[in-house]
Amino acid sequence: MTGKALVCGGSIGGLFVAAALRRRGWQVEVFERTAVELSGRGAGIVTHDVLNAALEAVGVDMSDLGVAVEDRVTWDLAGNEVGRMRLPQVVTSWDRIHRGLRRLMPEGTHHLDRGVTGYAQDADGVTLRFVDGSEARGDVLVGADGFRSAIRGQMLPEVQPVYSGYVVWRTLAHEADLPAQVQDEVFPHFGFHLPTGGQFVGYPIAGVENDLRPGHRRYNFVWYMPVEVGRLRDMLTDGEGVLHSVSIPPPLVREDVVAAMKAEAEARLARPFVEILRVSERPFFTPIYDHVSPVMAEGRVALAGDAACVARPHVGMGVTKAACDALALARHLDGAGDVAAALRAYSAERVPEAEKAWSRSRRLGAYLFDEPPGGNADGARNRHLDEIMRETAVMVD
Ligand SMILES: Cc1cc2nc3c(=O)[nH]c(=O)nc-3n(C[C@H](O)[C@H](O)[C@H](O)COP(=O)(O)OP(=O)(O)OC[C@H]3O[C@@H](n4cnc5c(N)ncnc54)[C@H](O)[C@@H]3O)c2cc1C
């Protein structure tokens, strides 16, 4: 059958679902809670062949996708190279992918400022309920509303994201602002620093407005740092004393929290990355949570992307997983007489894939806390070095 699909969440996951279903002849309406067009603050996204194929399959323009990176290099605290591996990849940005998908939505089918509160389903269809009391009716509902999904909250209230014990600090530096030596020796590579009690990953991404010209690109700085729950509560408290649950908007992170992170970086981060941080924009942090749903559908309602499962960012699979969910969902629904049976088949196909990404990401994350005999405070003796360099942001198969 084809019919009308309602998609809750208008970020990359929701837009992928919409694009994939539209190509199979479905009428699709996307409802996004945020009142303004979304922006990824320049976040870098590592591509995989599967993601590129998915983008092409739904009709995204693939020209100027991102920056090509050839090698992976690990540095210790003093800035000595302790590992190198060839692994060519193209790194793009959240904004580039979001924009490519957003353009595919016809006028009047992508609705902003439409927060969803829940749904009701019956034999003939599904009704979506909005914050303002209004409703929409369709044949299928897809919850692509992220890791705190309202749709999953109703379908699987027992599935709750769990705090990993660490946060990720992120920022961007302009290529032209970096010291010459860092530009030559660090910027072109996918870089690591892997001491006990931290994990640093960095790579070049496009500049503002997808500018790929040498000298105009940016460096994506990603530093995972253990933070116990009491300290996290303090970091999530803004200057007015308001405690934000789960995550805090970047402008509200207190100055003393940012200053403490910078002081810690000066003491504990490999020299090239300290130099990058010194010329970066104001860093912001996100606590790392994960979860995996045991099923991804119930009746006429399906989950996709981060709503279904968040694998920690070490595997760099969030966008790719959302893309694969979208293509599988559209394939199972194509020509299906029984929507619920099609969604059960979708769930049976995708849950094991989500579990694989989730468990690998937890293994890579656990290495933050691994203390080898003799210690590894300077990142020169990480006994999982090869594995981390080989598996970080690489497709889980
Ligand atoms: C540091 C970091 C690095 C990453 N690196 C990579 C990488 O290299 N490669 C990769 O593939 N992925 C990466 N990811 C993950 C990736 O960004 C996401 O997994 C991916 O974008 C899928 O998101 P989504 O659309 O499912 O959910 P989200 O992006 O969370 O979007 C959910 C949307 O739903 C909306 N919404 C929420 N509730 C409601 C509601 N009640 N009603 C209506 N709308 C609602 C939200 O406003 C939001 O727009 C990274 C993530 C992080 C944090």
How distant is the alpha carbon of residue 28 from its chain centre?
24
Do the Cβ atoms of 145 and 151 come closer than 8 Å? yes
Do the Cβ atoms of 170 and 284 come closer than 8 Å? yes
DSSP 259-303: HHHHHHHHHHS-HHHHHHHHTS---EEEEEEEEE-S-SEETTEEE
Point out the ligand 1 atom lying closest to the alpha carbon of residue 45. Answer: 8
d(CA 346, CA 331): 9
What is the Å distance from ligand 1's center to 200 Cα?
Answer: 21
Q: Given this model, what pLDDT does residue 40 score?
A: 64
Q: Given this model, what pLDDT does residue 118 score?
A: 98
Give SS3 for 388.
Answer: helix
Listed in sequence order, the residues at least 6 apart from 55 whose beta carbon sits closer than 8 Å to its beta carbon are: 62, 97, 100, 323
For the ranges 38-42, 151-155, 305-309, the lowest mean pLDDT is seen at: 38-42
Count of alpha carbons within 13 Å of 200, Cβ hemisphere only? Answer: 28
Average of per-residue pLDDT across 361-389: 95
Q: Given this model, what pLDDT does residue 62 score?
A: 86
d(CA 8, CA 129): 10
For the segment 142-158, what is each residue's pLDDT rounded down to a tens digit? Answer: 999 999 999 999 999 99
Kindly state the percentage of the chain with pLDDT values over 90: 91
Q: Given this model, what pLDDT does residue 210 score?
A: 86
Do the Cβ atoms of 296 and 152 come closer than 8 Å? no
For the ranges 55-69, 112-126, 225-239, 317-331, the lowest mean pLDDT is seen at: 55-69
Residue 132 has pLDDT above 80, yes or no: yes
Q: 37: pLDDT confidence band, cut at 50, 70 and 90? A: confident
Q: Given this model, what pLDDT does residue 61 score?
A: 87
Locate tokens 């969604």: which residue?
343
Which residue, by CA, sits nearest to atom 24 of ligand 1?
Answer: 13
Residue 44 has pLDDT above 90, yes or no: no
Do the Cβ atoms of 361 and 315 come closer than 8 Å? yes
Give SS3 for 351.
Answer: helix
d(CA 7, CA 14): 6
The pocket around ligand 1, CB under 6 angstroms, is made up of: 8-14, 31-34, 38, 43, 45-46, 94, 115-116, 144-146, 150, 168, 170, 222, 286, 305-307, 313, 316-320, 322, 393
d(CA 229, CA 233): 6
Count of alpha carbons within 13 Å of 392, Cβ hemisphere only? Answer: 27
Mean pLDDT of the chain: 95
Which parts of the chain are beta strand (E)? 4-8, 27-31, 44-46, 67-75, 81-93, 110-111, 116-121, 126-130, 135-138, 140-143, 162-174, 190-193, 199-205, 218-226, 284-292, 297-298, 301-303, 309-310
Residue 78 has pLDDT above 70, yes or no: yes
For the ranges 20-34, 35-49, 372-386, the lowest mean pLDDT is seen at: 35-49
Q: 395: pLDDT confidence band, cut at 50, 70 and 90? A: confident
Pocket test for ligand 1, best of 32, 155, 290, 353 (most atoms within 8 A of CB): 32
**Structure-block tokens of residue 358:** 């989730």
Which residue, by CA, sits nearest to atom 41 of ligand 1?
Answer: 116
For the ranges 34-43, 73-82, 213-222, 240-249, the lowest mean pLDDT is seen at: 34-43
d(CA 290, CA 294): 13
Pocket test for ligand 1, best of 34, 45, 112 (most atoms within 8 A of CB): 45
Instruction: Specify which residues 120 forms β-bridges with.
Output: 127
d(CA 50, CA 53): 5
Q: 286: pLDDT confidence band, cut at 50, 70 and 90? A: very high
Average of per-residue pLDDT across 330-335: 95
